[in-house]
């Protein structure tokens, strides 16, 4: 595919602005072919207006049509073949094996959402039949279901150029629900974004759905993204990225004359509590899994375990020693781009310069700056130092982690109580540990969106029960997930119909239940007719 580097506005391409930028190969620090044009304010406006004009047609399409669209997007991604991977890998520094696996996840989640759209229970259809003879007041007939909200702005993640990007969960569940999408392409992998955008455009055309339901705009500066968030026709925004970037856009969304939901996933430290029983039984095994999790993908996962907390003991010392040795053996590797590498290096340096913190292990091989590399480094400190230095609580996005030793169970709980919001928390323990530290678990339930037992947080299963979210600052709304089928709830809202004639109701609320979906009728879940 010959890249054009332009905006995809519906079914047309535009390049009105003079600002252009290249994609950079982080393994060589060299520019790749094709320059990408930053979107102008007029181009962003056109993209959103096309989305708004297509909304009624897209939301009126049958569930089968929208499910077919998601299947078609998956098929078009596969039609790109290895050419997609051969662009993604040099733009991101991710190895071909990782890119191939991520393509599989991207296609798989599109098909999973297609199945869910067809099944229909996500619409949460509810019917309370009326009773005109009820005394002293007649009971109205009320029927409620979820409806799409309108054009959605999507900001993809740098670390998942396929699965959480142009054709990722946000776009797929928005289109499946009936919401048009405008994607702000990530400047770290703009060629990959263009290829995926063209695949979606082709899928819309093949399914005879309005091509204005999808647009893609480029930009390396903050200007196009800010224009997208502030556009009065955008009804919600999904964002995956840094706390600083997410918070700035969240503030802009809230400052609009008509504020809109801004669903941001902004990272996490993902604390791991290593309890005494588990340390005694399998300390070396836990250390091995811990360092593998820290270094997975060069630590570039929002679920990277950046903090380990245990009670001071010989077993914890042995665990730290094992983890330090494994960190030394971990080779430096290329990060996504120089900005992430520099931020990681700064964060690690700030931890290391803190009084009371020591290095227990760092990659023995030197990093190569020309290859945008970062080294694994593991630090250790005590609870008092950790609690008295707020910067030690900040996320370092990369293969960096801190082990904290607590003097007693109460101190363990104090650390947990002072945690900010995170995506996950992990307990490495035995059943006896869980009983003895039940109050710790109760604290963590208030702090995170997913609790893991005897595992590690990296690796997020795409399924119906997944919750990838958490209290602020992990996300801006802890009720919602950005991964898994429940993520569709971000882009719909309930609408109730009172005393409407049956033939004027949405199909899902009619007496005959033509789609045969699960509905709550007078408080009973059933597929029966009314």
User: Which ranges of 389-430 would DSSP assign to H, the alpha helix?
Assistant: 409-417
**Residue that the structure tokens 């609408």 belong to:** 495
Distance, in Å, from the CA atom of 530 to the CA atom of 515, rounded to the nearest integer, reads: 13
Contact indicator for 395, 306 with CB cutoff of 8 Å: yes
Three-state SS string over 32-70 comes to: EEEEEECCCHHHHHHHHHHHHHHHHHHHHCCHHHHHHHH
What is the bridge-based pairing of β-strands 7-9 and 12-14? antiparallel
Q: Which residues, 6+ apart, have CB-to-CB distance to 173 below 8 Å?
A: 113, 485, 487, 488, 490, 491
CB neighbours of residue 312 within 10 Å: 15
Catalytic pick from 265, 395, 413, 508? 265
Distance, in Å, from the CA atom of 113 to the CA atom of 226, rounded to the nearest integer, reads: 29
Catalytic (active site) residue 265: yes
Distance, in Å, from the CA atom of 280 to the CA atom of 323, rounded to the nearest integer, reads: 15
Distance, in Å, from the CA atom of 344 to the CA atom of 341, rounded to the nearest integer, reads: 5
Catalytic (active site) residue 413: no
Torsion angle of C-alpha atoms 410, 411, 412, 414, degrees rounded to 10: 90
Distance, in Å, from the CA atom of 198 to the CA atom of 1, rounded to the nearest integer, reads: 10
**Residue that the structure tokens 């506005």 belong to:** 9
User: Which ranges of 178-275 would DSSP assign to H, the alpha helix?
Assistant: 190-206, 223-230, 243-255
Distance, in Å, from the CA atom of 47 to the CA atom of 52, rounded to the nearest integer, reads: 9
367 by Cβ neighbours in 10 Å (0-12 / 13-18 / 19+) ranks as middle
DSSP, collapsed to helix, strand or coil, labels residue 136 as coil
Catalytic pick from 302, 344, 413, 508? 302
Contact indicator for 207, 68 with CB cutoff of 8 Å: yes
Assigned token pair, 242 = 């840094």
- Active-site annotation, residues: 265, 302
């Amino acid at each position: 595919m010959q890249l054009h580097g332009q905006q995809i506005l519906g079914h047309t391409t535009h390049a009105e602005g003079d600002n252009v930028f290249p994609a950079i190969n982080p393994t060589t620090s060299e520019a790749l072919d094709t320059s990408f044009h930053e979107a102008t304010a007029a181009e962003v406006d056109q993209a959103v207006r096309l989305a708004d004009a297509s909304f009624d047609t897209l939301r009126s399409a049958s569930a089968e049509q929208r499910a077919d669209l998601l299947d078609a997007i998956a098929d078009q991604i596969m039609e790109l073949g290895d050419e997609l991977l051969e662009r993604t890998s040099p733009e991101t520094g991710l190895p071909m094996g990782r890119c191939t696996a991520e393509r599989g996840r991207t296609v798989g989640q599109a098909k999973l959402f297609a199945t869910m759209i067809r099944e229909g229970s996500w619409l949460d259809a509810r019917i309370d039949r009326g009773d005109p003879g009820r005394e002293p007041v007649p009971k109205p007939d009320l029927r409620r279901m979820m409806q799409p909200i309108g054009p959605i702005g999507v900001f993809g993640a740098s670390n998942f150029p396929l699965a959480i990007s142009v054709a990722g969960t946000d776009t797929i569940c928005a289109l499946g629900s009936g919401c048009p999408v405008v994607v702000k392409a990530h400047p770290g992998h703009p060629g990959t974004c263009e290829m995926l955008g063209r695949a979606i455009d082709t899928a819309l055309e093949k399914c005879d759905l309005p091509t204005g339901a999808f647009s893609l705009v480029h930009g390396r500066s903050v200007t196009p993204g800010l224009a997208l968030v502030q556009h009065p026709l955008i009804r919600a925004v999904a964002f995956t990225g840094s706390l600083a970037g997410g918070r700035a856009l969240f503030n802009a969304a809230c400052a609009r004359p008509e504020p809109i939901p801004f669903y941001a996933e902004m990272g996490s430290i993902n604390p791991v509590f290593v309890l005494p029983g588990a340390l005694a039984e399998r300390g070396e095994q836990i250390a091995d899994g811990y360092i593998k999790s820290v270094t997975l993908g060069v630590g570039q996962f929002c679920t990277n375990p950046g903090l380990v907390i245990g009670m001071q003991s010989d077993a914890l010392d042995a665990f730290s020693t094992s983890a330090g040795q494994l960190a030394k053996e971990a080779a430096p590797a290329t990060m996504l781009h120089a900005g992430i590498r520099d931020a990681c290096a700064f964060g690690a340096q700030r931890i290391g310069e803190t009084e009371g913190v020591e290095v227990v292990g760092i990659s023995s091989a030197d990093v190569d700056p020309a290859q945008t590399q970062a080294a694994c480094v593991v630090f250790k400190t005590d609870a008092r130092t950790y609690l008295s230095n707020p910067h030690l609580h900040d996320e370092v996005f990369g293969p960096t982690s801190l082990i904290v030793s607590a003097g007693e169970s109460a101190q363990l709980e104090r650390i947990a109580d002072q945690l900010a919001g995170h995506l996950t928390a992990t307990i490495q323990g035995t059943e006896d540990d869980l009983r003895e530290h039940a109050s710790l678990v109760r604290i963590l339930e208030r702090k995170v969106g997913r609790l893991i037992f005897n595992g590690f947080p990296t690796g997020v299963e795409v399924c119906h029960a997944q919750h990838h979210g958490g209290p602020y600052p992990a996300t801006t709304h802890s009720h919602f997930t950005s991964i898994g089928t429940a993520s569709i709830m971000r882009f719909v809202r309930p609408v109730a119909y009172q005393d409407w004639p049956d033939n004027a109701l949405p199909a899902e609320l009619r007496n005959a239940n033509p789609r045969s979906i699960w509905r709550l009728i007078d408080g009973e879940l059933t597929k029966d007719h009314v």
